[in-house]
Amino acid sequence: MHPDHPDITADMWSPIDESIHKNRPVPGSIITVLRQCQDVVGYLPVELLDYISEGMNLPSSDVYGVASFYSLFSMEPKGRHTIKLCLGTACYVKGIKEVMSRVENQYQVKEGGTSEDRRFTLQGVRCLGACGLAPVMVVNQDTHGDVSSDKIINLLEEYK
Ligand code: FES
């Protein structure tokens, strides 16, 4: 019986079931199943983890353990765009904290979280290796240097 979940649509169940079915006999394949299911749904809701542990015949504590250990997996929904703000020393000195507050207030999103409209996921990260451009923001694959709390909103408005 498939659990009800607003983010898991009817057509997603067939690739999920297929992944479980194919991998069930393979020892140590839980990472593969979690990866494939996350590709289908976008993240791993708790209801899906329960369904996977049942299907794979594994204790749910094991499945939760794997899902929370690897940073590749997310148990929270992700935004359409991921904003990474560098909290390394050079960026810190150049005022990244102010930029962070501006983004948090403008889009009602907390560091480490996702805005309610799922537009942005906001992450504070360690030095991105581009200190010459401090303060640095990366949105998806785009690097933006010398960002300030004044110009950041204009930049982010490009990402719908
Ligand atoms: S400290 Fe931000 S890029 Fe190095």
Give pLDDT tens digits for 112-155: 999 999 999 999 999 999 999 999 999 999 999 999 988 899 99
Tell me the best of 84, 91, 97 to mutate to test the pocket of ligand 1, counting ligand atoms within 8 Å of each CB and taking the most: 91
The first and second tokens of residue 39, run together, are 């590709």
CB atoms within 10 A of CB 39: 10
pTM, full prediction: 0.74
CA distances from 118 to 6, 77, 113, 158 (A): 14, 8, 10, 15
The pLDDT tens digits of the residues spanning 28-62 come to 999 999 999 999 998 999 999 999 999 999 999 99
Predicted confidence (pLDDT) per residue in 69-95, tens digit: 998 899 988 899 999 999 999 999 999
- What integer pLDDT is reported at residue 160 of this predicted model? 94
Would the CB of 134 count as within 6 Å of ligand 1? Answer: yes
109 CA from centroid of ligand 1 (Å): 22
Q: Which domains are present in the chain? A: 10-69 (no CATH), 81-156 (3.40.30.10)
Cβ 125 under 6 angstroms from ligand 1:
no
Q: pLDDT at position 107, please?
A: 96
Sheet strands side by side (includes 81-86): 120-125, 81-86, 137-139, 142-144
